[in-house]
Amino acid sequence: MAHNADTEVGRLRTVVLHRPGREFMRLTPRNNTSLLFDGIPWVARAQEEHDVFAAALRERGVEVLYLADLLTEALAIPAARAELTTKVLAGNRLGETLRREVGEYLGHLDPGRLAGVLIGGLAHEELRTGSGLVYAMLDRHDFVIDPLPNLLFTRDSSVWIGDRAAVTSLAMPARRRETALTAAIYRHHPRFAGTPLLYDPGLEHLEGGDVLLLAPGVIAVGVGERTTPAGAERLARRVFSAGLAHTVLAVPVAQRRATMHLDTVCTMVDVDAVVMYPNLADSLMAYRITRREGDEPQVDEPGPFLTVASEAMGIDQLRVIDTGLDPVTAEREQWDDGNNTLAIAPRVCLAYERNVCTNAQLERAGIEVIRVPGSELGSGRGGPRCMSCPVSRDPIAGRPLSAG
Ligand X SMILES: NC(=O)NCCC[C@H](N)C(=O)O
Strands 348-352 and 368-372: parallel
Shortest Cβ 8–ligand X spacing (Å):
13
Burial of 397 (0-12, 13-18, 19+ CB in 10 A): exposed
Residue 223: closest CA among 237, 235, 240: 235
Q: Does 155 bind ligand X (CB under 6 A)?
A: yes
Q: Does 381 bind ligand X (CB under 6 A)?
A: yes
> Do 320 and 340 form a contact (C-beta atoms < 8 A)?
no
Helix (H, G, I), strand (E, B) or coil at 44: helix
Q: Does 288 bind ligand X (CB under 6 A)?
A: no
Alpha carbons 148 and 120: distance in angstroms, whole number? 6
Which residue among 116, 147, 201, 209 contacts ligand X (CB under 6 A)? 209
Alpha carbons 265 and 278: distance in angstroms, whole number? 9
* Segment interacting with ligand X, rule: CB under 6 A, options 58-66, 248-256, 259-267, 365-373: 259-267
Its sign, for the CA torsion 149, 150, 153, 158, is: negative
Q: Does 156 bind ligand X (CB under 6 A)?
A: yes
Shortest Cβ 85–ligand X spacing (Å):
25
Determine the residue type at 398. Answer: G
Map residues 114-133 to x or -, x wherever contact with ligand X holds by CB under 6 A: --------------------
Which residue among 24, 153, 192, 240 contacts ligand X (CB under 6 A)? 153
Shortest Cβ 262–ligand X spacing (Å):
8
Its sign, for the CA torsion 163, 253, 18, 8, is: negative
> Do 350 and 57 form a contact (C-beta atoms < 8 A)?
yes
Catalytic residue among 266, 349, 386, 389: 386
Binding footprint of ligand X, residue count (CB under 6 A): 16
> Would you call 349 a catalytic residue per the annotation?
no
Q: Does 323 bind ligand X (CB under 6 A)?
A: no
Which residues 92-111 are close enough to bind ligand X by CB under 6 A?
Answer: none
Work out the end-to-end distance of the chain between its first and last CA atoms, rounded to an integer number of angstroms.
Answer: 28
Shortest Cβ 167–ligand X spacing (Å):
15
Whose Cβ is closer to ligand X: residue 19's or residue 175's?
Answer: 175
Q: Which residues bind ligand X (CB under 6 A)?
A: 36, 150, 153, 155-156, 172, 175, 209, 260-261, 263-264, 380-382, 386
Residues involved in catalysis: 386
